[in-house]
């Protein structure tokens, strides 16, 4: 009989690491709110109250949060692993997504040492857990300028390898374009139409998922979202699901400077709310954005403009600071008149595997629904 590895047994090897439970919620929130992702320009963090774990439950039933403790048993660091079912080699496959990796600058020596020791041990064990918990491989996403996150685990000699899979781009629009072209039009569609189009065009793409699970979980959280179809001459050419005010995770951006700072000051002139003093931004996320494969170049931009036109007419921006969506393309239409004021943040996807092993995840086109991760 095959002997499976056990996470509880592995944790017994580490004196200053424990697996978090609901009883740790307040302590985690207090730690998490003081830790941020540093880019070259600003500090990015997320508000996760009242329940830190709610975001994880939007996408999975199986997740683990590990706490790295100081000598006085306060939290010095943390890291979470979400077990997702994603497309890999044409089949739904369990993969581990690493997120919320934080190690405080004031963390104790043992917490820091065990932070470096534990993750190689965990990554080696994930494929060897019992079948309902095992993960074929592991991956994570890191903002391109978040050097601290990359260096915390990727320096050589730490037992694991970060293998670059590809890049993605977060487009952040402060407003919509004033004069969108009208080649396409956008309207609400049914869940069946949305799901059918998504599955048809994403079913075999690496890391694509079944959006129904997330749809059902968001309904439980009373999230506000709509299924949109983008049409040309009566033909459905793209879909998107705008999600407003995701209560499980709210964006906070501080230390804005230059063009971004001046742009946010324009929000009030546009009839929009000003960002709060704590930097919290109300976002509208365009999730599951999918185009027909034959829709290329400028037509994709025109489809986005059609969504902007629908958003403006629907008055959704009255309480929204920024619209976000993820794009895998390096090029985009930068016209303010058609696309509005937009900033782009670059991110990278990495497979994480033991140094003595080779990576197995493909370096090819992928989907990444960052609004839920």
Averaged pLDDT, 155-171: 82
The answer for residues whose C-beta is within 8 angstroms of residue 163's C-beta and 6 or more apart is 350, 351, 352, 353, 359, 361
Given a cut of 70, whether residue 248 has pLDDT beyond it is yes
**Per-residue confidence (pLDDT) for residue 150, from 0 to 100:** 58
Residue range 58-76, pLDDT digits in tens: 999 999 999 999 999 999 9
Averaged pLDDT, 100-117: 92
Average pLDDT value over all residues in the chain:
86
**DSSP code for 330:** S
**Per-residue confidence (pLDDT) for residue 146, from 0 to 100:** 63
Given a cut of 50, whether residue 96 has pLDDT beyond it is yes
CA–CA dist 152, 181 (Å, integer): 46
Most confidently predicted of 130-134, 140-144, 245-249: 130-134
Phi, psi at residue 17, to the nearest 5°?
A: -130, 140
Which two structure tokens, joined as six digits, stand for 107?
Answer: 């963390």
CA–CA dist 75, 72 (Å, integer): 9
- Delineate the domains of the chain, giving CATH numbers in brackets: 7-166+352-372 (3.40.630.30), 170-347 (3.40.630)
**Per-residue confidence (pLDDT) for residue 18, from 0 to 100:** 97
88-123 b/e (C-beta count within 10 Å ≥ 16 → b):
beeeebbbbbbebbbbbeebbebbbebbbebbbbbb
Q: For the ranges 80-84, 122-126, 345-349, which has the lowest average pLDDT? A: 345-349
Given a cut of 60, whether residue 259 has pLDDT beyond it is no
Q: For the ranges 10-24, 142-156, 272-286, which has the lowest average pLDDT? A: 142-156
First-to-last CA distance in the chain? Answer: 36
Residue range 308-322, pLDDT digits in tens: 889 888 888 888 888
Give the pTM: 0.90
Residue range 183-220, pLDDT digits in tens: 899 999 998 999 999 999 998 899 999 888 888 887 77
**Per-residue confidence (pLDDT) for residue 1, from 0 to 100:** 47
Is the CB of residue 263 less than 8 Å from the CB of residue 341?
yes
Given a cut of 60, whether residue 39 has pLDDT beyond it is no
Is the CB of residue 62 less than 8 Å from the CB of residue 133?
yes
**Interior angle at CA 196, CA 288 and CA 302, nearest 5:** 50
Q: Which residue has the tokens 């207090």?
A: 30
């Amino acid at each position: 009989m095959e002997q499976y590895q056990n996470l509880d047994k592995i944790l017994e090897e580490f004196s200053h690491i424990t697996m978090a439970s609901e009883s740790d919620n307040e302590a985690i929130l207090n730690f998490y709110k003081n830790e941020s992702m540093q880019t070259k320009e600003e500090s990015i963090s997320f508000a996760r109250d009242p329940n830190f774990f709610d975001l994880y439950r939007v996408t999975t039933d199986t997740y683990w949060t590990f706490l790295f403790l100081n000598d006085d048993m306060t939290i010095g660091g943390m890291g979470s692993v979400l077990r997702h079912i994603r497309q890999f080699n044409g089949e739904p496959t369990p993969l581990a997504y690493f997120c919320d990796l934080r190690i405080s600058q004031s963390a104790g020596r043992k917490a820091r040492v065990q932070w470096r020791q534990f993750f190689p041990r965990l990554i080696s064990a994930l494929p060897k857990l019992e079948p309902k918990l095992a993960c074929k491989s592991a991956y994570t996403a890191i903002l391109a300028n978040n050097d601290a996150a990359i260096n915390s685990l990727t320096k050589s000699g730490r037992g694991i390898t970060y293998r670059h899979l590809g890049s993605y781009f977060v487009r952040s629009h402060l407003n919509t374009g004033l004069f969108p072209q009208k080649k396409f039009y956008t309207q609400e569609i049914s869940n069946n139409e949305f799901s059918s189009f998504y599955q048809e065009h994403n079913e075999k793409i690496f890391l694509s998922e079944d959006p129904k699970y997330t749809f059902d979980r968001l309904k439980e959280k009373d999230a506000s979202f709509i299924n949109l179809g983008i049409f040309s001459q009566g033909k459905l050419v793209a879909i998107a699901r705008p999600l407003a005010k995701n209560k499980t995770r709210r964006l906070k951006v501080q230390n804005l400077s230059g063009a971004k700072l001046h742009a946010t000051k324009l929000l009030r002139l546009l009839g929009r709310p000003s960002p709060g003093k704590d930097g919290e931004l109300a976002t509208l996320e365009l999730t599951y954005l999918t185009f027909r494969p034959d829709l290329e170049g400028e037509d994709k931009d025109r489809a986005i403009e059609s969504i902007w036109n629908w958003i403006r007419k629907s008055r959704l921006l009255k309480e929204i600071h920024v619209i976000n969506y993820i794009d895998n393309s390096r090029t985009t239409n930068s016209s303010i008149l058609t696309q509005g004021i937009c900033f782009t943040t670059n991110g990278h996807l990495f497979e994480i595997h033991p140094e003595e092993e080779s990576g197995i995840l493909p370096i090819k086109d992928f989907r990444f629904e960052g609004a839920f991760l």
